[in-house]
Structure 1
Amino acid sequence: MHANVPLRRRAVLIVGVLACLSIASLLVAGMSGSVAVAPGELPGALMQALEGRTDTLAASLVALRATRALMAFATGGALALAGVMMQALLRNPLADPYVLGISAGASVGALFALLMMCAAATVDAAAIGGAVAISLLLYVLARRDLRHGSAAEGGSSQLLLTGVILMSASMALVTLMLSVAPESRLRSMVFWMIGDLSGVPLRLLPWIVLAVGLAFALRNARALNMLALHADGAATLGIRVGALRKGLFFISALLTASAVNSAGSIGFVGLIVPHACRFAFGPDHRVLIPSAVLAGGGLLVLCDTLARTVIAPTQLPVGAITALIGAPVFLYQLHQLRK
């Protein structure tokens, strides 16, 4: 018991610092934009926004930016958590939330709805439907690998290969739709593909999905540590490996579908954030899981702030910003890993 005390203190310290940094990223997002909000105006503007009043320009700006920042945080946290779970499921540090093709399936559904000029609600439903369809197809094709957790390496390879094939087929459909799309729809389709948070409404569902995923991951954090260290013998240690692998698959698929439905396809967050947290705080999932959620959420909030301020009033797709930041960071992480 005494050995766990330093670990708990360290975990509380890490999570507390990351929580403060996340709050700071939200405050920066509220102040930044084409029209800046002075730090002295921010408390009053926040109070008015919380009360539902927009009597001043500062309160109106903060209310609009807060909606976008909160959705960015939920999306980034979901992607980072899905990345942690996907890497544990596949036992591959290069896995990310999109590697199984779930994001590509959501893209097929959403882009088809956009091509048919459907309403925004229909686009959301189509994106979720595409993600669910790919998830179910992947589960049917790889259910034996998910059920029998004893074949850790072989099962993970088969699951990964099946996902890559489904992703390739989905991206072929996406390319066909983009090639026949009229000019009036092409820009919105491309922005959705790259990842965009402009105009996203504040919704409770992504936060519920993130909370469910976080609760599942924290409850199984010790089992994930055992699975990572002793994959072949985890079952002899009392871990229901098959049930754990299926849970990781379905929860990470749900998190990915929720993130894609909110903001389109945003890459690198689910790949570089778990790596960075692992390098900084160690591989213990009891610390890694909450730190990745907070770091992923804060990172996407800052990237979205950059996307709408770097050449304001023109807004860039946030997926382009995450790719520009994520690619060199990931190359650096690979270099450090080789050393």
Structure 2
Amino acid sequence: MTNLIGNTARRSFDTTADQVFSLDGELPVRRIGFGTMRLTDERPADPAAAPVWRGPADRDGALAVLRAAVDLGVDLVDTADAYALGESEELVAEALHPYREGVVVATKVGVVRPAPDAWVPLGHPAYLRQQAELALRRLRVDRLDLLQLHRIDPEYPLADQIGALAQLRDEGKVRHIGLSEATVGQLREADAITPIASVQNMYNLGFRQHEAVLDYATERGIAFIPFFPVAMGAHAGPDGPVAEIARELGATPAQTALAWLLHRSPVVLPIPGTTSVSHLRENVKALDVRLNAEQFARLSDLEAAPEGA
């Protein structure tokens, strides 16, 4: 594959024409997934600070959103054992089990929640294996489609953490392995240990501090799963540049922001979350929004948040 590092930030791949991506080359999913983190009882104004501590107050509403997602063709559902202390995984199973053919459920292990405002990496291999076993029970499956290391714990060698997940895969309990919030160096190190199918980092129009990770993933054919994909920062105002291009396209600003991600690289799989079925429909329809090269360049030229913001 051609080396794309340093050359993708302004390139339009017109990848909405390819609405499906195959994880590790063999597990196809549509390129708009669904993230379950927002299906919790507590959602402060800043989504990045969400405690994600309890299950949803409106459980029936959350179940309806998950079922509607699959009805609309979403076949990648992302969750984690740390979301609402395992309730998120239970919610996914309650809504979707037995899973339709082709539905891929991704979950994450490697973070403990000792308090509502605490997210603490814990990469002890025995703990990772235990949490994977609990995820199997809560999701009611014999094998996890995609198991991602939620955070890399600096207290343990990465080889030991990835090795625990690889052992689960060798036992038939995990199909594919991924990372979350990883650097290029960490991704490269992990990929040398065992095939890495995905990396899940925060990335959107207003926050582009993982450009190098996305470029590496593009070069290697690794799925890049941006969380908080619709956040647009100062560009999101009704008279802002995103809204202007949205009007040109006959789309919404959220759809335009998602379309930019889809055009940014063919490996990008956004997982926008919502508690609203109408917003869910809006997000899924972003697959049909086509940016031309000039519109893509105008969005790419917008100033992102400064490094460290």
TM-score using structure 2 length:
0.28
Higher percent of residues as strand: 2
RCO higher in 1 or 2 (8 Å CA, sep ≥ 6)?
1
Higher percent of residues as helix: 1
Structure number with bigger Rg: 1
